[in-house]
Amino acid sequence: MLSILLSASKPLSVYELIDFAREKYQVNLQAMSAYRMLEFLEEEHLVHRLNVSNKYVACAHIHRDCEHGIPQFLICCKCDKIVEQTIHPSMITNLESNAEQEGFTVVSPQLEINCVCDQCAADVGK
């Protein structure tokens, strides 16, 4: 699963991952097995689940010797290009404080921001 996500150019759903495994590796995975693998990879901070689209992406910090912070994802709504950034802890503290003032408790501070990448924006202008 991890190697598939590392080679993917966009976030993939569980069923896209299963199809890719069947086509590229001739491996037939059951959906429940794929979900278990992804759950393990999430717990190890190797992949992230995008809540809005219910797709998965490899962590951008796998190859870096740094601490995994709270991720922010910039997602192009045209081509699905995705960039992972780490949110500064003070921003999360601020968001949690604002949520508490409104009577909410933040469960997952991961941010997913829909954007248009420069390439797609340039293509629209042509």
**Residue 65 reports pLDDT greater than 60:** no
Task: Find out whether 115 is annotated in a ligand binding site.
Answer: no
pLDDT of residue 102: 97
pLDDT at residue number 126: 61
Does 120 count as an annotated binding residue?
A: yes
pLDDT band at residue 26 using 50, 70 and 90 as cut-offs: very high
CATH number for the domain whose boundaries are 1-59: 1.10.10.10
76 is in an annotated binding site: yes
Residue 122 has pLDDT above 60, yes or no: yes
Q: 1: buried, middle or exposed (CB in 10 Å: 19+, 13-18, 0-12)?
A: buried
Q: Is the pLDDT at 80 greater than 70, yes or no?
A: yes
Look over the chain and give the mean of its residue pLDDT values, rounded to a whole number. 90
We find that the CATH architecture of domain 68-126 is 2-Layer Sandwich (3.30)
Domain ranges of the chain: 1-59, 68-126
Res 2: pLDDT: 93
117 among the known binding-site residues?
A: yes
